[in-house]
Amino acid sequence: MHFITRLASNPSLSTFPLPIGGSLTWHRVTLPDAGGASLWRTSISISDIPSQHILVPSYACVSEAYQWQASAVTNNETSVLAPVCPIHKTPWAGFASANSETPALQPKIDCWHTLSSIEALEFELTLFLPHSDAPPDQDLLTFSIRPTDQPTAELPTPTFAVRTSQPAPVSQMQADKAIARRICSPTATVMAVMGSAALSHWPEVIESCYDPNTKAYGKWPLATYWASQQGVLGSVEALWQWDDALAVLEAGQPIVCSIRFAKNQLPGTPQEQSGGHLLVLYGIEFIEEEGFALVMDPAGADTDEVPRRYPLVAFTQAWLNHRGAAYLFSTKPQSQNDSDLDLSRATIRGH
């Protein structure tokens, strides 16, 4: 099964590079003693989800300090993921603790895996706005489903070569040694979102992506949450083919890709192997018939080692074969869309 829906409160205002499927309808939930806050809920019904699939919820809005929680109900049993809220804020007291009543769904940090088939599922998203009595007017909800593992996706051909502006390089390995190997997600995110200003925003995105519950920096929705506070709406999606990725690249937007690979399976990487790593894809190119993914790999030892070129077959296996998770972003504000940075001295490694 392959499923994705993208909804926005005002689709006409969207600058997201992929199609918005419809309007997002919010229903107010009574909130006693609101004190200027408000609570909203929306839901999506889905039928016939097979086992061994990944379900990825995502939400972002341009609103200060918003909080949200995803839950899924099947056979009157509920599975709830941990709420998403800004750093240094306590989650709204009405949110449930992360838990699962249903054996069909296995909750992860930022998604679900199906352990058996599900005939009907109700996905529900609850939004808490501490400083607003009205629902957001600029937001994006996505919900994607695909097999957790799949055969290698069909590869693009040379006619589909595409390249965005190369992001400014930032190396996670130049951070404090205590966290350097743990911050690929915020480092890739800041390269994808902030253009030439990436390095100056790097410390704040690292802080914003820290999850006190898991003591980790890789929780997917915290990366898109930080981007939304910069005025850039994004989504976390489980992609399964190159078509959507090519459309995003053709729109001029880089993609943060979640990859994993065994020893020596991704030639040219600064890591021999990885059980989970995030980097920035900004194009694909071909030398005759051989394709290459153009990436900014934050695991490079320094900024000169960040730009890389990976064989397209191996990169596709590392990314789309397992989960296919990606951070996708709307068009950046013009002040951030700086393509004048001189990167002529940055050598692309790996070929």
CA dist 132 and 14 (Å) reads: 21
CA dist 236 and 223 (Å) reads: 9
For 35, other C-beta atoms within 10 Å of its C-beta total: 8
Three-state DSSP state, 165: coil
Query: What's the pLDDT score for residue 34?
Result: 78
CATH 2.60.120 positions along the chain are 3-147
**Beta carbons within 8 Å of 292's beta carbon, 6+ residues apart:** 284, 285, 286, 309, 310, 311, 312, 351
Query: What's the pLDDT score for residue 344?
Result: 31
Fold classification of 3-147 (topology level): Jelly Rolls (2.60.120)
- DSSP one-letter code for 151: S
CATH 3.90.70.10 positions along the chain are 158-336
CATH architecture of the domain covering 158-336 = Alpha-Beta Complex (3.90)
Judge residue 294's burial from the number of C-beta atoms within 10 Å of its C-beta, 0-12 exposed, 13-18 middle, 19 or more buried: buried
The answer to whether 23 and 8 are in contact (CB under 8 A) is: yes
Amino acid sitting at position 39: L
pLDDT mean values, one per 10 residues, the chain (351 residues) = 97 94 96 90 97 98 94 96 94 94 94 97 97 94 98 94 97 97 98 96 98 95 97 97 98 97 96 96 97 98 98 98 97 48 41 42
